[in-house]
Structure 1
Amino acid sequence: MDQASDFVVATRTALAQLTALGVQYSFSVIGAIILLILGWLVAGLLSRWVFNGLSHINGIDATLSQFFSNIVRYAALILVVVMVLGQFGVQTASILAALGAIGLAVGLALQGTLQNIAAGIMLLVLRPFRVGESIETGSVTGTIVDVGLFATELKTAEGVYRLAPNSTLWNVPITNYSRLASRRHEITISIGADENVDVTESKLIKLATADKRVLKSPAPAAFLSDFDAGSAKITLRYWIGSKQWWDVSRDMTKAVKIAFDKEPETETPQSSEEATA
């Protein structure tokens, strides 16, 4: 009889404790669910706010805006998870320390990747080149197809696809052939020492001004660039729109060659070209 009474008392005590624990943790679970829902909504709201704010800043790329908005969103969600764990009595200080150690380990393991991300952010902010522009670096030449956080896609003049890590583009000088509206081109020819320099210069300027694609300002110019005992070099310098530079420079070079090939009074001069960007 005493054993039955003790069993009943122990059962009632266990049920009472379970009920108390259930009530206690039910509130914690409900609070955690509410906190997760609110945290999810706040994280999304902060993400959209950051994206919209950065999108209105002139010069900030959409890729960069999305990147920072995602960072804010995930940071908010991590904070919410830590707060939820704190609802159940978990020591959040140890969790934060563990997250810091994990972040440090991942950063060391992905050092090269993080360099590309940092370079990608700087490229997207400073915009030394944009999609459709032609560039040249120490090892990369081509037209920009896409600029990402990790790498930049290019298309070479031969129609070859090239993917360049951002760190290789950020750490070297970049020549952008498309950024400015106009570019200069030069053609240098050799004439005999007894030929009239002024006549040759006038003929070169006339050829340049005859092409409507050659810019009127700055005006084309021709000058004596070098000479020796047997010959003289005359240089024609003129400006072209950047988009037409390749076609006009080649057409003008051909026109100069044909014009001096047809020179009736003098022996056909030996010509040479020097094209500078």
Structure 2
Amino acid sequence: MTFDAEISALTIPEQIFVWLRLNLMEIIGAIAVLVIGLVIAGLISRFVSNALTRSDKLDPSVASLLASLIKYALWVVLGVTVLTQFGVETTSIIAALGGMALAVGLALQGTLSNVASGVMILVQKPFRVGEAITVGPITGVVQQIGLFTTELKQFDGLFVMMPNNELWNKAIVNFSRHPVRRFELVVGIGYGDSMEQARQTLLDLADADERVLDDPAPQAFVNSLDDSSVGIGLRVWCSTADYVGLSWDLTEAAKTKFDEVGLTIPFPQREVTTRAAA
């Protein structure tokens, strides 16, 4: 854009009017570039979002994130292009923006670490919304996965918000990812009781429950020889959705059935001998 030195003596409103008259075509061109660029950026963003959403390989959260990043990148390119229409030297502006981005990045290291961890969680998918997980001392159902934090609901109803950085840097146990799980029950019997009878009793209980899978087949075995009891173990496989209910029911059924067939479940006892003083 051209500024005549002679207009410097004019008042500011007059200078603005002259500047607008001299650069009318550049202004119209910049506005046209801005409008057309916004329309094209919106169309590209929607197209990318729809394409990524239809993909089965990407989580909807990842698709939304990528679409937003593409939209913001197009806005930056559009802004630089519009400034170029006005004759502004964009090299220094880009350098300044780069310096600002570096300074902000150094100041927000923790926040950016959470963002990076959030992106990795969305891409790698160690858990999804609705799955039950354990991370460190926290166990709960995933409610929402964000860029900065992940929200969990514990089984006692408490709300937990964890920074993504803590989630990504710890071992994650996902209870819901696989369709089947193994349940193991150990019941102690007296040393005078029949181990074979105890094993068969537990196997009969497993066979009688429809939730227990036939493959892998249930297993009963001697698990341990303790101080006051013999531990008889039972391993069964079931659907993940049936795990909690089956564990409760089999434990109760084992105690009831052992009482019926005369198998004792001993408990630690202590004898105290009192001696008279000499």
TM-score with structure 1 setting the length: 0.85
CA distance in 1, matches of 2:239, 2:16: 83
Shift in alpha-carbon separation, 1:91–1:229, aligned structure 2, 3 A: closer
In structure 2, the partner of 1:56 is 54
Shift of residue 95 of structure 1? 0.7
Segments of structure 2 that go 5 or more residues without pairing to the other structure are: 1-5, 269-278
Shift in alpha-carbon separation, 1:261–1:116, aligned structure 2, 3 A: same
Shift of residue 40 of structure 1? 0.6
Shift in alpha-carbon separation, 1:257–1:75, aligned structure 2, 3 A: same
Partner letter of residue 119 of structure 1?
Answer: S
Q: What is the percentage of aligned positions where both structures have the same residue? A: 42
Shift in alpha-carbon separation, 1:138–1:28, aligned structure 2, 3 A: same
In structure 2, the partner of 1:213 is 211
Shift of residue 179 of structure 1? 1.0
CA distance in 1, matches of 2:221, 2:214: 17
CA distance in 2, matches of 1:82, 1:188: 70
CA RMSD in angstroms comes to 2.5
Partner letter of residue 113 of structure 1?
Answer: T
Partner letter of residue 126 of structure 2?
Answer: P
CA distance in 1, matches of 2:82, 2:184: 70
Partner letter of residue 266 of structure 2?
Answer: Q
CA distance in 1, matches of 2:17, 2:202: 101
CA distance in 2, matches of 1:220, 1:54: 44
Shift in alpha-carbon separation, 1:211–1:22, aligned structure 2, 3 A: closer
Shift of residue 97 of structure 1? 0.6
What pairs with 1:126-205 in structure 2 (closer than 5 Å)? Answer: 126-205=124-203
Shift in alpha-carbon separation, 1:22–1:167, aligned structure 2, 3 A: closer
TM-score with structure 2 setting the length: 0.84
Shift in alpha-carbon separation, 1:29–1:258, aligned structure 2, 3 A: same
Shift in alpha-carbon separation, 1:227–1:44, aligned structure 2, 3 A: same
Shift of residue 30 of structure 1? 0.9
In structure 2, the partner of 1:270 is 266
SS at 1:58's partner residue? coil
CA distance in 2, matches of 1:170, 1:134: 16
SS at 1:89's partner residue? coil
Shift of residue 19 of structure 1? 9.7
CA contact (8 A) 1:257 1:271 kept: no
SS at 2:261's partner residue? coil
How many residues get paired?
257
What pairs with 1:41-120 in structure 2 (closer than 5 Å)? Answer: 41-120=39-118
